[in-house]
Amino acid sequence: MAAYDAIIIGTGQAGPSLAFRLAGAGMKVAVVERHLVGGTCVNTGCTPTKALVASAYAARTARRAAEYGVVIGGDIGIDMWRVKARKDVIVAASRNGLTSALENAANITLYRGHARFASPRAVEIAGERLRAERIFINVGGRALVPPMPGINEVPYLTNSSMMDVDFLPHHLIIVGGSYIGLEFGQMYRRFGSEVTIIEMAPRLVRHEDEDVSAAIKDIIELEGVDVRLNAECISLAKRGDEIIAKVDCTAGAPEVAGSHLLLAVGRRPNTDDLDLDKAGVRCDERGYIVVDDRLQTTAPGVWALGDCNGKGAFTHTAYNDFEIVAANLLDRDPRRVSERITAYALYIDPPLGRVGMTLAQARTSGRRVLAGERPMTRVARAVEKGETAGFMKILADADSKQILGASLLGTGCDEVIHGILDLMYAKAPYNLLQRTMPIHPTVSELLPTLLGDLHPL
């Protein structure tokens, strides 16, 4: 049995960084990966989708060229093979860079295979047993395939198999109107597919405020995406070459016929095939590993980081998990998960930047809430760019003057949101931002103006 100081299972967004830190501190580290180094973000999540979103943006801009006085002779064509090839080059560079960094690092051994616990201190990979006093689980998640009627009768795609698509689906049906479904939906519409998004809830991105959901629906419908809401009972069938999705919606045709089907209905953690019981690591009823505020599991000496602990579902939350574990173990810095502020972006165009509370959450928080809103049509930079869809909304506490949350839907707002996020981490009153001198013309320059317009709810 090979002995290590630490074993890391999975090379997602926390594992490799932790491996480098532990190895740098002189520990002998084993890293185990069963599939592609880099995990979801690098191979089938953030990196490839944002590369594809960029191609879709280029297609849209080319089609709008005349609005800007740019003349393109002939039709705008999309070469899906090249779209995919561009994405593949970006992904491969990231994956290969990480793989070789792990393979060449002093004190790190990279094992390829599926790891399972054999005991609280031992892990087995294809018959080989490794032992360590510290084990870190960073196994991530995979696309959820819900038991919908007919699901086994039809071919379907997930975010992973979408990565192999090098052709243009004639009509892409997407089940799921949240982040993944919306990004793929707008993207494929821009590539030229017909797209129908089917959502069970009465609105898209149901965790956001209603005005955000409505604005996003308007944005994608204006581009020709068909949105079917309230589809509480979806069933699937094959009819000739077509895939039929029967939808129990309150309005519209009772079925949608498409050429391809993408399931984007959520994720499930990769915790069902780790033999966690042999280590005494407990999961909750949804399969997420139970952890404390420093990401320690119910088994002493075993930590869980990233999507598998249910504390976040983003690359930045997984990376922050690494920072928390490393700070506690190596820096005597008692960082905790509860210190972080919710923040994320939705990469449709224009993007949604989100931080902190929604309006609905602020209303039920018991605080006196101030709110301010500004349409992107009143943001000079957006007008100049010809990208005026969306609006910016900020919420603040009337007593402490601290910002409670923001929903910024508009051009550049995946970046602009960081001005708010930094202020929140600094626990500074919002009027501090009103005393700054922002750069003109930017979207961010309107944040102080918007804060000056805050009014009681």
Ligand X SMILES: Cc1cc2nc3c(=O)[nH]c(=O)nc-3n(C[C@H](O)[C@H](O)[C@H](O)COP(=O)(O)OP(=O)(O)OC[C@H]3O[C@@H](n4cnc5c(N)ncnc54)[C@H](O)[C@@H]3O)c2cc1C
Q: State the nearest-atom distance from the C-beta of 417 to ligand X, in Å.
A: 13
Query: Cβ(274)–Cβ(295) under 8 Å?
Result: no
Q: Tell me which of 25, 28, 35, 105 binds ligand X, using CB under 6 A.
A: 35
Establish if 94 lies at the interface with ligand X (CB under 6 A).
Answer: no
Q: How far apart are the first and last CA of the chain?
A: 64
Q: Is 49 one of the binding residues for ligand X (CB under 6 A)?
A: yes
The DSSP call for residue 288 is: P
When the beta carbons of 12 and 176 are compared against ligand X, the nearer one is 12
Q: Which is nearer to ligand X, 10 or 419 (CB)?
A: 10
Q: Which stretch binds ligand X (CB under 6 A): 43-51, 291-299, 327-335, 363-371?
A: 43-51
| Best CA proximity match to 299, nearest among 281, 320, 283 | 281
Instruction: Examine residue 385 and tell whether it contacts ligand X (CB under 6 A).
Output: no
CB of residue 88 to ligand X, shortest distance in Å = 16
307 belongs to the binding site for ligand X (CB under 6 A): yes
Residue 445's Cα: distance from chain center in Å?
27
For residue 399, count CB atoms less than 10 angstroms from its CB and return exposed for 0-12, middle for 13-18, buried for 19 or more. Answer: exposed
Tell me: does residue 10 bind ligand X (CB under 6 A).
yes
Work out whether 353 is an interface residue with ligand X (CB under 6 A): no
Q: How far is the CB of 316 from ligand X (least distance, A)?
A: 5
| Window 194 to 253, contacts with ligand X (CB under 6 A) | none
Nearest CB to ligand X, comparing residues 171 and 267: 267
CB of 142 to ligand X, least distance (A): 8
How many angstroms separate the CA atoms of 350 and 407, rounded? 12
Nearer to ligand X, 312 or 372 (CB): 312
Residue whose Cβ sits closest to ligand X: 140
Question: Tokens 């790891």, residue?
Answer: 115
- Binding span for ligand X by CB under 6 A among 80-88, 222-230, 301-309, 365-373: 301-309
Rounded to 5°, the CA angle 94-96-99 comes to: 110
Provide the token pair at 353. 């930047």
- Convert residues 386-415 into a mask of x (bound to ligand X by CB under 6 A) and - (unbound): ------------------------------
Q: How far is the CB of 43 from ligand X (least distance, A)?
A: 7
Catalytic sites, residue numbers: 440
Separation between Cα atoms, residue 307 and residue 287, nearest integer Å: 11
Helix/strand/coil (H/E/C) assignment for every residue in 87-115? HHHHHHHHHHHHHHHHHHCCCEEEEECCE
Q: For residues 328 and 106, what is the distance between their CA atoms, to the nearest angstrom?
A: 23
If you ran DSSP here, which 8-state letter would residue 289 be given? B
Question: Could you give the CA distance from residue 373 to residue 370 in angstroms, rounded to a whole number?
Answer: 11
Work out the angle between the directed axes of helices 179-191 and 46-63 (0-180°, nearest 10).
40
Distance CA 309, CA 312 (A): 8
Are the C-beta atoms of residues 311 and 340 closer than 8 Å to each other? Answer: no
343 binds ligand X, rule: CB under 6 A: no
* CA–CA separation, 358 and 394 (whole Å): 9
- The residues facing 276 across adjacent strands are none
Q: How far is the CB of 137 from ligand X (least distance, A)?
A: 8
Q: What is the 3-state secondary structure (H, E, C) of 192-245?
A: CCEEEEECCCCCCCCCCCHHHHHHHHHHHHHCCCEEECCCCCEEEEEECCEEEE
Q: Is 109 in the site for ligand X (CB under 6 A)?
A: no
> By CB under 6 A, is residue 180 in contact with ligand X?
yes
Binding test (CB under 6 A) with ligand X, winner from 6, 7, 8, 12: 12
Indicate which single residue of 19, 22, 110, 115 sits in contact with ligand X (rule: CB under 6 A): 115
Query: Quick one: which of 136, 188, 191, 314 contacts ligand X (CB under 6 A)?
Result: 314
| Binding-site member from 18, 30, 32, 379 for ligand X (CB under 6 A) | 32
Contact call for residue 347 and ligand X (CB under 6 A): yes
Q: By CB under 6 A, tell whether 310 contacts ligand X.
A: no
Q: Tell me the C-alpha distance between 46 and 53, whole Å.
A: 10
Cβ of residue 363: shortest distance to ligand X, in angstroms? 27
Closest CA to 234 of 258, 212, 267: 258
User: Do 39 and 140 form a contact (C-beta atoms < 8 A)?
Assistant: yes
**What track of x and - describes contact with ligand X for positions 248 through 287 (by CB under 6 A)?**
----------------------x---x-------------
CB of 212 to ligand X, least distance (A): 17
Q: How far is the CB of 328 from ligand X (least distance, A)?
A: 18
> Of 44 and 358, which has the nearer Cβ to ligand X?
44
Distances (CA, A) of 164 to 87, 88, 384: 10, 9, 37
Rounded Cα distance, 385 and 320, in Å? 34
Q: Which helix (H) or strand (E) holds 213?
A: helix 210-222
Residue 41 interacts with ligand X (CB under 6 A): yes or no: yes
Q: Restricting to residues 119-178, which ones interact with ligand X according to CB under 6 A? A: 138-141, 159
Binding stretches for ligand X (CB under 6 A): 9-14, 32-36, 39-41, 45-46, 49-50, 114-115, 138-141, 159, 180, 270, 274, 306-308, 313-316, 318, 347
